[in-house]
């Protein structure tokens, strides 16, 4: 940071701090206190974006509330919560929400309370580790509301599409939410931090949890984003220009039925039932028992799903009958995972084909599933939640284990027996 910008930042921070002190004395319950915290957080996270504003403000005698409100107006245009779709809106689709990968308020008022030199040092170190935060393109993600916040309000075409499959709130979808950990765990002051190093050490865990949760939401909804990329004829990135985003929004707005179909296909597998279980097997007898059994034996579920996927599910997916494909894959999962309850009468013979798992996932079967085989996606979620491994990783691990046992001298017959009995 050059000396002039550092002086401007320090002037702006002092102006806001003095305004806060005066407001605390005259109106401690004012709603402006919340704005002060939010937009002073933006200033110390991203002072480069406000150099011209700060220079103008200092020369014209701008007041504390005027500076806070000026930063607020700039943010309102970027977040476009009203859904106007006008520059500088960062939305790739008007029903989205613009999510900060790392909150402006990370660390609370910690950086604002440091001296200028310590603030610069801490900010530089945290940027080196996590990247820039604040209202900069690389930190602003156009996110489906289904992956944003459990009690978020669904809007626009996303709301329309989800309503058609009985979903009226993001909380009805078992999708990781970018805003899962909230409050002081991510935006609390680092108590006692008076140096750059103390601020860095205190804020690091706050960045880490936000990054992990936001990336999880992005990863799960990425197949839907890729479907929209195909419809829009462009690949969404955080650094798209205003003109590129405007074109993308217009193209998608002209294809409402295709967009809704993509949303329903990709998000339907994550619908949660009344008992908190995924409604993957609608219309299948013992559906909820199947879900419970799958979660107890995810490896068997992976195998069962892949056995079904290798046959009828692929055919159904290729024909665009994704709902039927999900049921078929679900039935296969039940066969592979059966260990008790009403499904005990089905022998778990699918365990014998465990070696096929890696090959099937990585082979030609993956292509039609990528087009929307909801059953496979749903089972992938269950397996990952229960074991920390995806279906692909489950199959690859099995193949690796087999190869290690071969090297130890185990025969093919012994291998088949081992994988059949799991002993």
At residue 133, what are phi and psi to the nearest 5 degrees? Answer: -130, 175
Task: Note the pLDDT of residue 322.
Answer: 40
pTM above 0.75, yes or no: no
Q: Which residues pair with 173 in a beta bridge?
A: 271
pLDDT digits 0-9 by tens, 388-418: 454 444 445 555 666 676 777 776 656 555 5
Distance (Å, rounded) from C-alpha 348 to C-alpha 326? Answer: 20
pLDDT digits 0-9 by tens, 321-350: 444 444 444 444 433 333 223 223 322 332
Banded model confidence at residue 28, pLDDT cuts 50, 70, 90: very high
Residue that is written with structure tokens 């499959």 in the block = 165
Residue that is written with structure tokens 């005259």 in the block = 26
Task: Note the pLDDT of residue 400.
Answer: 64
| pLDDT of 72 above 70 | yes
User: Which CA distances in Å does 87 have to 145, 182, 410?
Assistant: 21, 30, 65
The answer to which of 24-33, 187-196, 344-353 has the lowest mean pLDDT is: 344-353
CB atoms within 10 A of CB 185: 12
Average pLDDT of the segment spanning 260-287: 65
Task: Note the pLDDT of residue 78.
Answer: 93
Q: Where are the domains of the chain?
A: 1-76, 88-272, 278-421
Distance (Å, rounded) from C-alpha 270 to C-alpha 280? Answer: 8
Does a cis peptide bond (omega within 30 degrees of 0) precede residue 88? yes
| Arithmetic mean of pLDDT over the chain | 76
pLDDT digits 0-9 by tens, 100-147: 999 999 999 999 999 999 999 999 999 999 999 999 999 999 999 999
What percent of the chain has a predicted confidence (pLDDT) above 70?
66
Distance (Å, rounded) from C-alpha 322 to C-alpha 27? Answer: 58
In the 8-state DSSP scheme, what is residue 173? Answer: B
**Residue 169 burial by CB count (10 A; 0-12/13-18/19+): exposed, middle or buried?**
middle
- Whether 217 and 147 have beta carbons less than 8 Å apart is answered as yes
pLDDT digits 0-9 by tens, 192-240: 999 999 999 999 999 999 999 999 999 999 999 999 999 999 999 989 9
The kind and range of the H/E element at 293 are helix 287-296
Task: Note the pLDDT of residue 7.
Answer: 97
């Amino acid at each position: 940071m050059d000396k002039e910008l550092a002086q401007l930042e320090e002037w702006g921070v002092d102006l806001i701090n003095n305004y806060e002190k005066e407001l605390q004395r005259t109106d401690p319950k004012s709603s402006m206190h919340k704005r002060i915290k939010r937009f002073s957080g933006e200033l110390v996270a991203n002072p480069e974006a406000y150099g011209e504003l700060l220079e103008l403000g200092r020369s014209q005698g701008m007041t504390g509330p005027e500076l806070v409100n000026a930063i607020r107006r700039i943010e309102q245009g970027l977040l476009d919560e009203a859904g106007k779709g006008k520059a500088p809106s960062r939305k790739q689709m008007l029903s989205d929400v613009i999510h900060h990968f790392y909150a402006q308020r990370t660390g609370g008022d910690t950086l604002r309370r440091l001296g200028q030199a310590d603030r610069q040092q801490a900010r530089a170190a945290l940027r080196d580790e996590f990247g820039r935060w604040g209202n900069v393109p690389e930190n602003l993600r156009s996110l489906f509301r289904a992956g944003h916040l459990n009690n978020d309000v669904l809007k626009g075409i996303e709301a329309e599409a989800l309503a058609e499959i009985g979903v009226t709130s993001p909380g009805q979808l078992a999708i990781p939410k970018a805003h899962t950990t909230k409050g002081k765990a991510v935006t609390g002051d680092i108590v006692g931090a008076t140096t750059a190093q103390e601020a860095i050490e205190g804020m690091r865990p706050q960045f880490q949890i936000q990054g992990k949760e936001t990336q999880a939401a992005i990863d799960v909804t990425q197949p839907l984003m890729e479907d929209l990329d195909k419809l829009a004829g462009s690949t969404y990135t955080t650094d798209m220009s205003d003109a590129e985003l405007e074109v993308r929004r217009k193209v998608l707005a002209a294809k409402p039925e295709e967009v809704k179909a993509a949303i329903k296909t990709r998000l339907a597998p994550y619908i949660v039932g009344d008992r908190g279980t995924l409604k993957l097997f609608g219309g299948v007898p013992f559906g909820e028992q199947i879900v419970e059994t799958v979660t107890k034996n995810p490896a068997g579920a992976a195998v069962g799903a892949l056995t079904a996927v290798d046959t009828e599910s692929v055919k159904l997916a290729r024909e665009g009958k994704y709902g039927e494909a999900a049921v078929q894959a679900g039935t296969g999962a039940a066969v592979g995972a059966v260990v008790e309850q009403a499904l005990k009468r089905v022998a778990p013979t699918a365990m014998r084909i465990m070696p096929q798992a890696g090959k099937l996932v990585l082979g030609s079967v993956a292509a039609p599933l990528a087009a929307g085989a909801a059953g496979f996606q749903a089972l992938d979620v269950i397996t990952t939640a229960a074991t920390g491994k995806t279906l692909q990783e489950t199959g690859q691990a099995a193949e690796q284990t087999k190869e290690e046992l071969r090297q130890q001298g185990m025969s093919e017959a012994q291998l088949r027996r081992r994988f059949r009995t799991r002993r």
